[in-house]
Amino acid sequence: MPASILPKVKKAFTIVLLLLIISFTYSFKTFMNEQEWLIWGNKFLVENYNPSTEAKLIKWEIMLTPDHFIRLRKTYQQGKQEYYSFNIKRFTNINYIAGDALTDTLRIKTQTDDIIVQTYNDPEGDVDSMATMLNIPLKKTAPERLDSLKQALMFLKAKGL
C-alpha cells in the first residue's frame, strides 16, 4: 500500500500559513517612537494653530522641541513679542474648549507656575512672569486628533521622567 502524501502536504501548508501569519503580524508597527510623536505633535500644532483670533498678530511660531518643551512666540504689528514656554513633564491636564464656528481653544494646565511668559518691546514695559495655564487658539479640530495630541504629550511626559 503506497504511503499517502496528504500528511506531508498538510504539514507544509500549515508551516507556510504560519509563516505568512507571523510575517503579516510583524509587518505593522503598533507603537510610535519618541521622534514620531514629536513630528506628529509639531504637525498638529502648526496645522491647527489659529492666528486669526488676534487681529494685530503678524507672525507666530509654535513648536514641540526635542527636549520636550512647547514654545509659542507671537509678534505683533508694533513689534511687541510674547513668548510662552514650558516643559511637557510639568503639564497636568489638557482641555479642549469649544468656541465659535471657526475657532476653539486648547487649554494646557501645569502643576504650578511652570509656564514662562515673557514680553519684549511692549509699550507698557517688558514683563517676565510665570503662569499655570496656556490657552492656544485652534481651528476646529476632530476629537480623534485632540486625543492623539493628548497621547503624544502623555508619551513624551513619561519619556522625560
Q: What is the mean pLDDT of residues 81-93?
A: 92
The C-alpha atoms of residue 39 and residue 152 are separated, in whole angstroms, by 10
Distance separating alpha carbons of residues 116 and 131, to the nearest angstrom: 7
Between CA 24 and CA 28 the distance in angstroms is: 7
The mean pLDDT value of the chain amounts to 86
**Three-point CA angle 82, 128, 74, nearest 5°:** 5
Summarised one tens digit per residue, pLDDT across range 23-81 is 766 665 557 888 999 999 999 999 999 998 888 899 999 999 999 999 999 999 988 99
Q: What is the pTM of this model?
A: 0.76
Helix (H, G, I), strand (E, B) or coil at 124: coil
